[in-house]
Every structure is written in C-alpha cells, then in structure tokens.
Amino acid sequence: MTMQAVWRCGAFCLLLAASLPVAAKPVPYKLDQRYATIAFSTTGLIATQGYFREFTGHLALDFQHPQNSSVDVTLDDTAITLSWPPGVQMLESPAYFDASAHPHIRFRSLSITPGKPGHYIIMGALTIRGITRPQLMDATLLRAPASSDEAGTADFYVTGKLKRSAFGMVADQGAVGNIVRLRIHARVMLARQNRPGGVPPHGQ
C-alpha cells in the first residue's frame, strides 16, 4: 500500500469516527436525604411503620438509556423512627438489625430493565446484618426532563418487599409479620451543568 493510500485510509477512518454518535455517560448525582424518604412497614399483631432518618445515596442517571443507570444506597439502621417508639430498641437488638455489629444496610443495583413507559425493574443486592440477598424493586419515574443534560427535576417512587427471615431476623414471628414492605420517594434536581443537587418535595 502506498503512503498516499495509507493517508486516505487514515483520513476516512477519522471522518467515520467523527460522524458516529458519542455515547452519553450516565450523570452522577448524590441523593439528598432532605428531599427523600425511605420508609418501611410490617403487619401482624404489632403493625409498624417507620423510616430511616440517615442515609447516603449515589445515582448515575441516563434517561435516554435507563439500563445504563445505577443506584447505590446505604442506610444507617441506628437512625430509625417508628410509629411504635418502643420498637426502636427492639430493631437495633441482635435479634433484628444487630445494629452494634452491623450499623448499615446497603442496596446496590445490578441491572435496571425498562418496562412500560415510566416504569423500571431494578434488580439489586441487599445487605442486612452482613447477609446479602437478591432484591427486586419496582421504580416509577413520575416526571423527568427529556434527557440527562436538561435542567429540571426527576421524581422517583420505588417500592419493594422482602422477608425478614431471609436475613436471619426470625424473632417474634407470632407478633411481627415476616413481610417487610419498602417505599422510597426521592426528588433530584437536574442542572444543565450536571451538578449534584436536590429540590424539596412538593415544591417546598
């Protein structure tokens, strides 16, 4: 091949690469706990509702290609508010969260699958008491900008349920139901500069 042919080939490859669309990377955000709630509830003789006051979350959002997004949330199980206040000490005990040995609960997504418009299935790994199990979550995007680069707000509502016995919490089965339901609401502000941030729920 002559040098002229090599130059032409190289120039063609450069033009081809320039014409190909550049894949946008998911935009990172931090979950602001001031504008999010992570709640849980159980049934049984002692029906309880509560929420985690302290948590951190890292989101990587790609609204055009949701399957490229990811979620990683860590909860502080020593910062819980319950509708039945005496239950806080019970939840922190070794029979439940064993908070002195395992002060954190973590959920990280492994895959996000788009379903019907605005709905997504999040398959992840949930770790409680040092035990990790697969966890399925159903996410609804209530509103969002057309792309990750636009300003605006994204409203998420996420639900799921788990069996506490799967994480070694088998105490008081006659009084406290085995099924724990999870409800998460978060609002994230998406700035044009793609800076992490948040805005209050309900426009507060």
Backbone Cα Rg of the chain: 22
pLDDT tens per residue across span 70-90:
999 999 999 999 988 889 999
The rounded distance, in Å, linking the Cα atoms of 197 and 190 is: 7
The CATH number of the domain holding residue 180 is 2.40.128.110
- Tell me the residue range of the domain where 100 lies: 25-203
Contact 50, 38 (CB under 8 A): no
| Domains: count for the chain | 1
Q: Indicate whether this model's pTM tops 0.75.
A: yes
- Cα distances (Å, whole numbers) of residue 129 to 68, 91, 171, 199: 29, 12, 14, 32
Does residue 16 sit within a domain? no
Cα atoms found within 13 Å of the Cα of residue 150, Cβ hemisphere only: 10
Q: pLDDT tens, 137-192?
A: 999 988 765 555 556 788 899 999 999 999 999 999 889 999 999 999 998 877 65
